Structure 1
Amino acid sequence: MTSVEKTGKTVDEAVEAAIAELGVSRDQIEYEVLEEPSKGLFGFLGGKPARVRVNLLAGQSPAAISEPQEKKELVSAAGKATADSVEVAKTFLQSIFTAMKLNVKIEKLTGEEQVTLNLRGEDLGILIGKHGQTLDALQYLTNLAAHRDSDERVRIIIDVEDYRKRREETLVRLAQRLADRAKLRGEKVVLEPMSPHERKIIHTALQTDQRVTTFSEGEEPFRKVVITPKR
């Protein structure tokens, strides 16, 4: 490898990331700034990272790195990138809460494939919205902000007072009740429009029921689940 492109919060950060990947020193490379960094809303959203192309000088070669050590460094770098993304997410959320004059405590829960930031405080219903629509939008914006300067992708889930768990339990009970109705009446039952995540909960809740089948119909954001009895 004699050339690599990298991004970072600053030009120097992007250059250092490229040097680390190439395994060389700064005096062995030359670089070109492809894009200067810029900030967006709240200093995060909509901004762009610095992007550089780093080339090895003629006659230079990357340092040899043993595979075990290289793997350790990659794991360490991935862990740091995840931690950095979560910190950016928390800072982004706090900037929103400050603007809304909300006193919110952020609890971090780490899973195997995702990080959950559970929000606790007084009068946080405004952050949830109807059927969690506001919460979903907040989660989407937070992930955009968290990954603005990172090549690593960790899924960040935003929750409020364990709302998502309670909502899932409610949807499972709803699915079972409506499936019983479909079987009793022998006719299909159409649910209200739901997000892809909530539709998946309905499908999963009924996938082992041998007497009904489920499918989704319609266009987003009005796509809905249909439960039909098997003949």
Structure 2
Amino acid sequence: MTDTTPGTKGTDTLTRLEQEGEIAADYLEGLLDIADLDGDIDMDVEADRAAVSIISDATSRDLQKLVGRDGEVLEALQELTRLAVHRETGDRSRLMLDIAGFRARKREQLTQIGAKAAEEAKGTGKPVKLDPMTPFERKVVHDAVAAAGLRSESEGEEPQRRVVVLPA
């Protein structure tokens, strides 16, 4: 039964996201055991979504296998983890998975790309089209462009969807 007391909606959301994180952590621990890989699982709630990270004390060379080339394996594992959460809860999950700090490093790079594109659009007064990106990458770039005071939009069809930074 859902609590309908005024002011509890935020608490319910946090509890739901924490539950998603727990389900995801259990799923990923099983995966690490099957693959015979060492890694610790860290859970958090960031920007209204569950965030789960697999980190390692040792050189994260083993975990790089779970990241893959340019994060391709990481993306697939994130989708599988979301499906595991969906199977348990019946709700679609927006869970974000990071492995060995790959997404954190990628986020920094993408923020710089977005800021640089915003500066270029401001300087030239013309739209700046970026290379095709994943939904995660586009979101980070859109946020960086907005922080620079400009608008951006996505155009094209997956997997060739790209961000276009619009001048003021």
Please report the TM-score for the alignment, with normalisation by the length of structure 1: 0.55
8 Å CA contact retained: 1:82, 1:152: no
1:221 counterpart = 2:159? yes
Q: Measure how far apart 1:93 and its partner are.
A: 1.5
1:94 counterpart = 2:32? no
Return the structure number with greater relative CO, CA threshold 8 A, min gap 6: 2
The RMSD of aligned alpha carbons is 3.3
Q: Which amino acid aligns with 2:117?
A: L
The unaligned stretches of length 5 or more in structure 2 are none
Equivalent pairs, count: 158
Q: Which amino acid aligns with 1:120?
A: I
Q: Kindly report structure 1 stretches of 4+ aligned residues shifted beyond 6 Å.
A: none
| Partner residue in 2 for 1:118 | 53
Q: Which amino acid aligns with 1:219?
A: E
Q: How does 1:50-89 map to 2 (within 5 A)?
A: 79=15, 85-89=20-24
Q: Measure how far apart 1:185 and its partner are.
A: 4.8
Q: Which amino acid aligns with 2:163?
A: V
Q: Which amino acid aligns with 1:218?
A: G
Partner of 1:221, secondary structure, is coil
Q: Measure how far apart 1:107 and its partner are.
A: 1.5
Q: Measure how far apart 1:132 and its partner are.
A: 2.9
Q: Measure how far apart 1:161 and its partner are.
A: 3.3
Structure richer in strand, relative to its length: 1
Please report the TM-score for the alignment, with normalisation by the length of structure 2: 0.71
Shift in CA distance, 141/182, structure 1 to aligned 2, threshold 3 Å: same
Shift in CA distance, 229/86, structure 1 to aligned 2, threshold 3 Å: closer
Structure richer in helix, relative to its length: 2
Shift in CA distance, 191/153, structure 1 to aligned 2, threshold 3 Å: closer
The unaligned stretches of length 5 or more in structure 1 are 1-20, 22-66
| Partner residue in 2 for 1:205 | 144
Q: Measure how far apart 1:89 and its partner are.
A: 2.1
8 Å CA contact retained: 1:187, 1:228: yes
Q: Which amino acid aligns with 2:43?
A: K
Q: Which amino acid aligns with 1:201?
A: V
Q: Percent identity?
A: 32
Larger Rg: 1
